[in-house]
Structure formats: C-alpha cells, structure tokens
Amino acid sequence: MKEKIPRVPTGIKGLDEMLGGGLLKKRHVLVTGGPGSGKTTFAMQFLYNGAEKFGDKGLFISLEEKSEKLVENLSQGFNWDLEKHLREGNIVITTVDKFDWDTLTDMLQSYVTRHKVRRVVIDPLTILRLNTRDTFEFRRKLIGLLGFLENLDCTVLLTSESQSLTREASTYTLEEFVVDGVIVLYNIPVRNERRRALEIVKMRGVAHSNNIYPFKITPKGIVVYQEEII
C-alpha cells in the first residue's frame, strides 16, 4: 500500500470525522454555497483552528470584504481571539488590488516560502473569475496556481458563491472540476425557518461520508451534527 497522505484537520466539530481525519495536506478544496451559507465563517474557522490548535500559520486573501470589516464582523459573531493571532502574525488577512493574478501569486509565494504559511484561503475565488478575460484563461491560471501551490507546503481552501440554494448536476461550475475536493453548504427553507446543512460532494483520495449533515453556526463557529442525517 502507498504511504498515506497526512491530514490537515479543519478542527470543525463533526467535519473531521466525516473526512476521516481532515483535508489532505497540500491539496485544495472548494467550499461553495449561496450568500450567507457560511463560506467565510468556514474558511476563517479553518485558519483560526489551524493557528489555535495545530500551530499552523494561515493567510486569508479576502477579495470581497476589506480586512478590517471582516475582522469586525467575525469578532461580533464569534468568541474567537482572532486579534491575538493577527497581532502575533499567526494569521494574516490581506486583499489584492484590482485582483491582479501576478500580484496575487507573488504575494502567495512570499507568504508560503518566506513566512511559512501552511493554510491559505482565497475568499471568494469567484471574483477572480469575473476579473479574468475569458473562461479558458481563468481555467489555465487556476490550474497553474493550484499546481504551483501543491508543490509548496500548504493546504488551500477556496470559496465560491453559488446561486441556487439546492443543487442539481447541471450546476457544476468550472472550479469544481479543477479542485481536489468540494464541500457544499446549504441554507434550506423548511416551513418557516432555514436549516443549514453540509455535504462533501467530492474529495479525491478520501473515503468520505456521503450523507448530508445538519450544521449550526454558533458563537464557537460551525458545528456539524454528524449523528443526525437530514
């Protein structure tokens, strides 16, 4: 048998169990869902747990929200000591002017090779697609970037905004074909309320759970209820 690829635990309660330990090290995963489905929360929790529990440095490239606003929002919702990790440089939040690919990659390269960042988030990747000439060019650049990052010692989490609340096979996007794994976050109306749920749609090289599990966003962050099936 081949040597097992080491895992990078997300530290999200219930999810690591579904994944059989965590994400695959040096691979990339896409977290997709509608607006407010919890993508940004998920992504930051991945970095926060990385710094807090596993001693991994993290880089958050925020393409939609300004860094200060993002920190402000997260500090309101969650009792994480994010400020401490920002101060100590364990987590860095930054953006890229005009979503310029070269600068994005130059910066990523510096953070990974020089500052030894081990977890990277790009939130949301979708904005880069809007700012790239055509789909072919976007695909070429994305494959290049992910291939490059795979050779470095870091695990990448990308987010993408999807329109529909539920999904059908026809709604697969280009990003979903390129990445190693896809996690979908749902926020489904059930009678007079919305229920959140999570599904691992694809995870190359992982024997993952195929069920859709409910999750809640709590002051501690996302908690997946692995015992309850939706």
Partner 1 sequence: MQAQAYVYHIGMHLDPKKLSKISGLKKVDGLELFEKSIGNLRIQVFLNGEIRAFVPGKTINELKEVLIVSGVKIVELLEEIKKQGYKFDVEEVFKNGHQMDFTYETPEGTRVKLKNEVAADLLKELIYSAHDIMPEFQAERNSVQAGENIGRRLVRIYKPKNTDELADAIVKYFKEQKIGIVTYKTKKDEKESNMKMYTFRVDECAVASGIPLVNKPVCHITRGLIRGAFCQFLELENVAVKETKCWGLGDTYCEFLMKVFPK
How long a stretch of residues is the chain?
A: 230
From ligand ADP, Mg ion, partner 1, none, interface partner of 77 (C-beta below 5 to 8 A by class): ligand ADP
* Residues between 39 and 98 that touch ligand ADP (CB under 6 A): 39-41, 77-78
Nearer to partner 1 among residue 92 and residue 198 (C-beta): 92
Nearer to partner 1 among residue 113 and residue 218 (C-beta): 113
Residue 173 structure tokens? 């996007």
Residues sharing a CB contact under 8 Å with residue 224, sequence separation 6 or more, in sequence order = 12, 13, 14, 15, 18, 198, 213, 214, 215
DSSP structural state of residue 6: P
* Min separation Cβ 107 and partner 1, Å: 6
The one among 36, 89, 144, 205 contacting partner 1 by CB under 8 A: 144
Closest by CA position to 80, among listed 33, 11, 6? 11
Is there binding between residue 205 and ligand ADP (CB under 6 A)?
A: no
SS3 helix, strand, coil % of the chain, rounded to 5? 35, 30, 35
* Min separation Cβ 109 and partner 1, Å: 6
* Min separation Cβ 40 and Mg ion, Å: 3
Candidate segments 74-82, 94-102, 169-177, 194-202, binder of partner 1 by CB under 8 A: 94-102
CA 53 to chain centre: 17
Residue 36: HSE in the Cβ half-sphere, 13 Å Cα cutoff = 7
Distance CA 1, CA 17 (A): 23
Is there binding between residue 166 and partner 1 (CB under 8 A)?
A: no
The one among 67, 131, 132, 173 contacting partner 1 by CB under 8 A: 67
DSSP structural state of residue 25: T
Cis ω for the linkage preceding 214 (within 30 of 0): no
* Residues between 112 and 141 that touch partner 1 (CB under 8 A): 113, 115
Residue 110, CA distances (Å) to 1, 96, 103, 115, 162 in order: 36, 14, 10, 7, 31
Nearer to partner 1 among residue 148 and residue 229 (C-beta): 148
Nearer to partner 1 among residue 31 and residue 108 (C-beta): 108
The one among 37, 40, 90, 126 contacting Mg ion by CB under 5 A: 40
**Contacting residues toward Mg ion, per CB under 5 A:** 40
**Contacting residues toward partner 1, per CB under 8 A:** 67, 92-97, 100, 102-103, 105-107, 109-111, 113, 115, 144-145, 147-148, 151
**Contacting residues toward ligand ADP, per CB under 6 A:** 33, 35-41, 77-78, 217-219
